[in-house]
Amino acid sequence: MSENLLNVLLSPVSVVILSYLMGSLSFAVIVSRFMGLSDPRSYGSKNPGATNVLRSGNKKAAIFTLLFDALKGWLPVFGVVQYGAAFGLGESTAAAAGVAAFLGHLYPVFFRFQGGKGVATALGVLMGVNPLLGLAIALTWLAVAWFFRYSSLAALMAALLAPVYYTLAGDILWPLQEPMLGLLCLIGIFLVWRHRDNVNRLLAGTESKLGAKKEAA
């Protein structure tokens, strides 16, 4: 009985469902409530993510949000990549788990399907695919954010370059696997789509820069 239950829990479908549920934990809201801060959906960009939490002026809350949002993307992918083979789970399941966790953040079942844009969770997924890939994308985000002071622009550049990095260094720094490339492309498409309003504001010159405080209610 216990062996059958274990087989069910570790089936590809169960792994994907559990990954989605994990992704649905909106830590921007959870951390803000725990620390007695305003709901991040009520100020700034109204996006439940680390960058908007930073607009509250509480850097510690923003850091916790970033770490936990990344963790929920990393854990399912890393778990399948490292230990899935023993249970018949391959790179396709790892990629599907990454997509599920990412979509959970975007459309969380626990928060009326109103989630964030998925940047930190996407970074966590990339770290799960390969730490070097995740580091390359993190450095890209930091470089763009440092020079231009726009979190959204940094996210867009990182999203577009992730599949490029993965392909160019494939079979050199990490295995080049078609399901993982598909994962990166899909995440990139969703990230660009979720940042469409930011793109319009960037073009209009009205996008908020990093470090800007929340607007008064």
Q: Determine whether 97 is exposed, middle or buried from the number of CB atoms within 10 Å of its CB (0-12, 13-18, 19+).
A: buried
pLDDT over 90 percentage in the chain: 84
Mean pLDDT of the chain: 92
- Closest Cα to residue 179, out of 98, 92, 78, 74? 92
For the segment 81-95, the average pLDDT, to the nearest whole number, is 94
Least confident stretch, 2-6, 78-82, 197-201: 2-6
Task: Return d(Cα 175, Cα 45) in angstroms, integer.
Answer: 38
The domains of the chain are located at 2-204
Least confident stretch, 5-19, 149-163, 176-190: 5-19
pTM higher than 0.75 for the full model? yes
For the segment 136-147, the average pLDDT, to the nearest whole number, is 96
What would you measure as the largest C-alpha separation in the chain, in angstroms? 61
What pLDDT shows up at residue 46?
87
Query: Which has the higher per-residue pLDDT, 179 or 211?
Result: 179
Query: Which has the higher per-residue pLDDT, 214 or 80?
Result: 80
24-77 pLDDT, tens per residue? 999 999 999 999 999 999 998 888 999 889 888 899 999 999 999 999 999 999
Binned at pLDDT 50, 70 and 90, residue 136 comes out as very high
Neighbouring-strand partners of residue 174: 170
Reply yes or no on whether the pLDDT at 213 is more than 80. Answer: no
| Contact yes or no for 35/58 (Cβ under 8 A) | yes
- Alpha helices per DSSP H over 84-169: 91-106, 119-129, 131-148, 151-168
